[in-house]
């Protein structure tokens, strides 16, 4: 059974540009969550999608957005990139996102903003 797949693995962008990251969940999983990981702030929740609807959103500016498609694949977009957006972006999938359904992470996309 394939795990969570994130593409691309590495990305370098210039300040002011926008970027789209992709996440393919484990087959059958309907909940997809996104996290930002930085050395200073650690792992922070961005948003969660379930059945193509954003179910929860973390405390990030509106430049961070996402969507989920009917096959549960998800994308996140960051517009007007800032240097501080450099981070490892992680996607996690679970069957339903409920309390007793475990979340599995992808390898992440390492975004560097220069």
List CB contacts of 39: < 8 A, sequence separation 6 or more. none
Of 11-19, 42-50, 64-72, 73-81, the segment contacting other proteins by CB under 8 A is 42-50
Asked if 13 touches other proteins (CB under 8 A), the answer is no
Please report whether residue 12 would count as binding other proteins according to CB under 8 A.
no
The correct pick among 66, 74, 106, 111 for binding other proteins (CB under 8 A) is 106
Instruction: Verify cis geometry, omega within 30 degrees of 0, for the bond prior to 78.
Output: no
Q: How many CB atoms lie within 10 A of CB 24?
A: 21
Q: Of 11-19, 35-43, 66-74, 76-84, which segment contacts other proteins by CB under 8 A? A: 35-43
For residue 31, state whether it binds other proteins (rule: CB under 8 A). yes
Site for other proteins in 60-89 (CB under 8 A): none
Query: In the chain, how long is the greatest CA-to-CA distance?
Result: 40
Strand residue runs (E) in the chain: 5-7, 10-13, 19-24, 31-38, 42-50, 53-57, 64-68, 74-78, 87-94, 104-105, 109-113
| Residues binding other proteins (CB under 8 A) | 4, 6, 31, 33, 35, 42-45, 48, 50, 55-58, 90, 92, 94, 97-108, 110
């Amino acid at each position: 059974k394939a795990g969570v797949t994130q593409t691309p693995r590495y990305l370098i962008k210039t300040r002011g540009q926008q970027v789209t990251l992709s996440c393919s969940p484990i087959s059958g999983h309907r909940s997809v969550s996104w996290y930002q990981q930085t050395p200073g702030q650690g792992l922070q929740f961005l948003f969660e999608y379930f059945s193509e609807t954003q179910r929860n959103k973390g405390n990030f500016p509106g430049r961070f957005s996402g969507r989920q498609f009917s096959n549960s694949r998800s994308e996140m977009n960051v517009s007007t990139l800032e240097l501080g957006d450099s981070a490892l972006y992680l996607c996690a999938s679970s069957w339903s996102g409920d309390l007793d359904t475990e979340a599995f992470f992808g390898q992440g996309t390492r975004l560097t903003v220069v």
